[in-house]
Structures are given as C-alpha cells and as structure tokens.
Structure 1
Amino acid sequence: MGILGWIVLGLIAGAIAKAVMPGKDPGGIVITMLLGIVGAILGGFIGRALFGSDIGSFFDLSTWLLAILGSIVVLAVYHLVTSRGHRAHG
C-alpha cells in the first residue's frame, strides 16, 4: 500500500478511534487526523513485529484492525500527555 493509502486509512482510522475513545478530545479535527495517520503507521509496525505479517491491501480487515488499534493507542497517549499538561498549569 502506498503513502496515499496510508494517509486515507489513517484519516478514517483516526475518526473511528476518536468515536471509540471516551472523554473529551483536547485536539481538534486536524490533530485527530494527524494522530490517525501516525496510529495507522504504528499499527502496521506492530502487526509486522508481533505477527510477522506484512500489511495487506487497503481492503484487508487485518489492515483496518491494526490501523484502528494503532490510532487508539496514539490517541490514548495524546490524551494522557495533554491532560497532565492541563493539570500542571491549572
């Protein structure tokens, strides 16, 4: 899958991750989209490291699950980092 495929997959996976994650999102839509792209790439690396499988095509279910899982992880870390920053200053 090319870079454009990863970007589109990441945008959609980021939106799904945001819908699944509870609580208020401290970032806007642009931050969520960027985190989704990073999460999709992270999910691809996790899948390759844990399962030894190469990421499939755009329409492969395992590709989507890994991208969404990676996006949830990145979004959760973002929530932790930004919530600690708000508590320290407020």
Structure 2
Amino acid sequence: MGIILMLIVGGILGWLASIVMRTDAQQGIFLNVVVGVVGALLAGFILTPILGGAPITSGAFDIRSLLVSFLGAVVLLAIVNLVRRGAVR
C-alpha cells in the first residue's frame, strides 16, 4: 500500500511542480509521476537530513516532508529543462 500511496503523492507533486515550472502541457501523467517520485527521493536523501524530519519515502506524509519533496520535484524539473532546452524558463 505504501508504494501506491507514494506514486499517487509523487504524481500530484510532479503535476504541481510542472504547473509551477510551466511545463504541464509538454509532459504527460507518466512524466509527472516520475518527476515527483524522483524529486521526492532526491530531496529526501539530500535536504531532509539538513532540515530535519523524515523523508516521504519512509511513509512520513507531514507538511515538512511534502514541501521538501515538492521542492525536489521543482529543482529536478528545472534541471531537466536546462538539459533539454539550455534554459530553465
């Protein structure tokens, strides 16, 4: 059940990150889920020990872990845009 919940939350966070970065029209639901989950993983391993709290991958769905995961998805999407287009937007 945890993996399904993480995919749903990752998809929502990836979708919100794509709206913030204005790339929602160019990517589908699959890329939203991938960006959300990978961004959550990276932010969970890098930012969560610095800021404190538990990563979203451990099943902690509090405000701090969701914001860190969202920030990770936005940063990951900015890096993807930089590689694909040469500009962050």
- Which of 1 and 2 has greater Rg? 1
Corresponding pairs, count: 82
Whether 2:57 is the aligned partner of 1:74: answer no
Runs (5+) with no aligned partner, structure 1: 85-90
Identity %: 37
* Higher normalized contact order (CA 8 Å, seq sep 6+, divided by chain length): 1
Give the structure 1 partner of residue 21 of structure 2.
21
Shift of 1:27: 4.5
Question: Which residue in 2 is equivalent to 1:62?
Answer: 64
Look up the SS of the partner of 1:53 in the other structure. Answer: coil
Q: What is the CA RMSD across the aligned residues, in angstroms?
A: 2.3
Tell me if 1:38 matches 2:38: yes
Choose 43-52 or 60-69, whichever is displaced more: 43-52
* 1:25 CA displacement: 5.7
d(CA) in 2 for partners of 1:82, 1:32: 16
> Unpaired segments of 5 or more residues in structure 2?
none
Superposition TM-score, scaled by structure 1 size: 0.73
> How does the TM-score come out when normalised to structure 2?
0.74
Q: Secondary structure at the match of 1:40?
A: helix
Residue by residue over 1:25-44, the C-alpha shift from the partner in whole angstroms, topping out at 9 and shown as x without a partner, is: 68521223211111111121
